[in-house]
Structure 1
Amino acid sequence: MKKIKVPLLVRVIIAISLGVLTGHFATAPVVRVFITFNALFSQFLQFLIPIIIAGLVTPAIAEIGKHAGKLLVITTLIAYGDTVFAGCLSYFTGVAIFPHLLDTASVVQIAQTQASEPYFKVEIPPLMGVMTALVLAFTVGLGIASLRKERLKMLCDEFKDIVSKTIESAIIPLLPIYIFGIFLDMTFTGQVAHVLTTFVSIIGVIFGLHILLLILQFTIAGLISRKNPFRLLWNMMSAYFTALGTSSSAATIPVTLKQTMKNGVSHGIAGFVIPLCATIHLSGSTLKIVACALALMIMQGMPYSMPLFIGFILMLGIVMVAAPGVPGGAIMAALGVLGSILGFGEQEQALMIALYIAMDSFGTACNVTGDGAIAVIMDSIFKQNISNEHQP
C-alpha cells in the first residue's frame, strides 16, 4: 500500500491543537517529560545550526562564484537588495503597527513559563559559532570557485546531502513533538490564549505585507520595462498558486519560467534568472521572519532597535542562500542569527518555527512571484545595453 504523507503544516497544526487540549488536564510530571524532550531536542538543534549554515551555504557560494559575468552580478545584487528591502519594509511596518496591535500591557514572558525543570539535561556544545560557520562557508566556497577545486566541491556537495538528510529525517519529523511540548507547557501555565490570538494578528499583517511587496516589485518592474505592472503581476499568478501548493521554489521553476516568458522576457534571460533567484531571492521569507521576530520581541518586552534589525536583516539575506532547496531549511538556517543577533532562546525559536511553518507556502509564493519581477527588470536592462551597443 502507498504510504500517505501528511504535510508538515498539517502535522504542526495537529501538534498545536493537541498541545492546547492536553494542557488543560495534564499533570506536572507529564509536562516535565515533554520539557525534558524539548531540552534535549533544543541542544541537538543548537549543535546543528552552525553545521547547517556551513553545509548549505558553502556549495551555494561555490556554485554562484563559478559563473562570472555581468548578468550574474547584477541579478545577485538586485535579488539581495530586494530581500533586504523586504526585511526593512517588514521592520518599519511592524514598528508602526505591532505596538498597537499586540497586547503589550500583558507582556508574555515565554522564556519563564516552564512549570518545572526537565528531569535531566544533556549539554551538546556546537563545534563553532554561527558567524564562524558563515565566514568559513564564504571562505571555502569562494576558494573552491576561484581555484576550481572540483574534488573539494564534490565533498562539500556530499556534506550538503548529509545536512539535508539530517533536516529531512531527524529535525522535521521531530518538530511537531517539539512544538506540542511548547504549547502543552504554555497551556498548562495559562498563557496559550494570548499567544494564539497574537499568532492570528501577526499572520494577517504578514499576508498584507506580502501583497504590498508584490505590488511594489511589479510597479518598479513595470516602470523600467514600460509595461503595465498589474498585467505583469496577473500573468505570474499561476506561479503564485503553484507555489502555494508545492511550498517549494525549486518545484515551481517550470511554471515560473513559463509565466515569466509570457511577460515578454527572453528565453535566455528567463532561463538564467529564474533558477538562480529560486536559490538566492527570499524576499517573502525574509519579510515573514523579520515580522515574526519583531512581534515576539514586543510581546516579551525584549529591547529592539533599528541598527539591531538592520544588521539582522543583512545577515539573514546571506544565511538563507540555498536554504529553499531543503524542506524547512530557511527557518533552520535563520535560527542561527535569531539566536546570535536577536538573543532568541529555546522557546522563542520554537514559536518562530511554528509561525514560519504556518505561513510557509505564502512566503514561497511571494518569493517565486517576485522572481518574475526581477527577470523583467534584467531583460529590460540587457535589452537597453544591447540597443546602446548597436547604436552608431
Structure 2
Amino acid sequence: MSKTVLALAVLLLHLQSNSTYAEDKPAASPASPKIGIVQRRVLIFDFENQTGKIEFDYLSGSISDALADSIKKTGKFRLMLREDARVNAIADGSPAPANAAPAEANSAQSTSSEPTMANTPPKVNVAVNRNDAIKRGRDAGADVVVLGKFSELNGVLLMSAQAYEADTRLLKVAEEILTKSDSEMFNGINILANKIAESMARELPMFDAAEAERRNAEANRNKAEARDWEIQIFAGMPLLHPLYSSDGTITYDKGIPVQKLTGYSLGAAGYFTGLSQKLFFMPKESRVGLQSKITLLSGQSDIVGANSLMLVQSASLSGVFVSNHAILGIPYLQSGRWLAFAEAGPGLVYTRLATTDSTVFSSWQPSAVIGTSGAYHFSYWSLGLSYRAQVTMFSANQVFMQHDLWFYAGVRL
C-alpha cells in the first residue's frame, strides 16, 4: 500500500511540475560552441518553498548554497554576491580581464566542498517572479540567473532548478529530482546541484573575448552609467498662487497678491549621485544636492491702505525671488537610460517685491519644496523635465505656493 501511495505522489508531483512549466523548454545550444576564456557571471536566487510548510523554509537557502558550491567547482562561472543585485560587485574581486586564462580567473576560488563565510554562495533572498528575477540579474550585470522551487506531497520532495541566459531571457538548463523528504533529501540536493552544474558547463560555455566585449557593449548601450556627480542648469515658467485669503490687492492684512505676477525662472543644481554606495539602505541611483533658483516677476496690482483707502491704482510691480533648497532624490521609475525621481527638501527664499518708487516687501522666509523629475541619461550628460511645488511662508497666516515646470540639461561626472 505504501508503495502505491509513493507512486501516486511521484506522479502528481510530476504532473504539477509539468503544468507549471509547460512553456519552459531549454533553448537549443549551438552544435559547436566556441571555446571561450571569459567566465559567465551567475546570480542565484533562493529557491521558492511551495510546500506551504514553514519547517521547510530553511531549504530555500540550503539548496541555493549547494548549487553555488557545485557551480563554482566547474571553474567556468563567476558567482555574484547577494549585494550584487544592488551594487554590481563580483564575488571574487574585480572583473577578470577578457584575456585572462580560466585558471587565473579562478586562482582565488576555494576548492573546499564545505561552504564557508569567505565563499558564502551568492543568493538573493527575495520572492520575485521569473521575469523580475531575470531583469534584476541583468541590471546587476549577471550573464546567467538561476531560479528554483520545491514542493512536497506524502513524504516525497520534488526539487527543480532552471538557469536562464540574462540577455536573451532564454531557458538554457532545467533539472529536477525526486527524493524522500527525510534525511535522504540532502543527498538529493547534492545530486540536483551536480546535475545543474554539469548542464550549465555544457550549455553555457565561457565567452571568447570578442563575444564578451559585444555583450558588454550591448548591455551598456541600454543602461545609464553610474556617475558620482551631476550638475544641472534649468529654465522654466512659474505659476504662483496664495494659500491665504487675497482679493488681489496689496494690503497689510492680506499680504502680497502673488497671483498677479508672471515671469520666468532660471537656476542650477548640483547632486551627489553616489549616495547608495555610501548608505547601503538607500535605493540605487539615489542622490542628494543643492538647488538654487532665481525667479524674475512682474505685474500690476492696486495698493490699499490700512483704512481700505485706495493709495495707488494698477501699480506696476516687479519681484525677485531667490531660493536655495537642499534636495533628496529617490528613484521610483527606471527604464533603460530613463530615470525618474521623487524629490523633496527644506530651504530658504529671499523675496523682494517693489513698485517703481518703493519697496513693498523684502525678507528671507523659510520654505520647502516637493516635486519630481525625469531625464534621459547619456554617458556624460542628461536631458530632462522637472516639476516643483515650492511653499514659502511670509508669516504664520501668509503663505504662497510657487509651481515650476522647467527643462534642464546636466553634466554627469
**Range into which the TM-score falls when normalised by the shorter chain:** under 0.3
Higher strand fraction (1 or 2): 2
Q: TM-score, normalised by structure 2?
A: 0.23
Greater gyration radius: 2
Pick 1 or 2: higher relative contact order, CA cutoff 8 A, min separation 6. 1
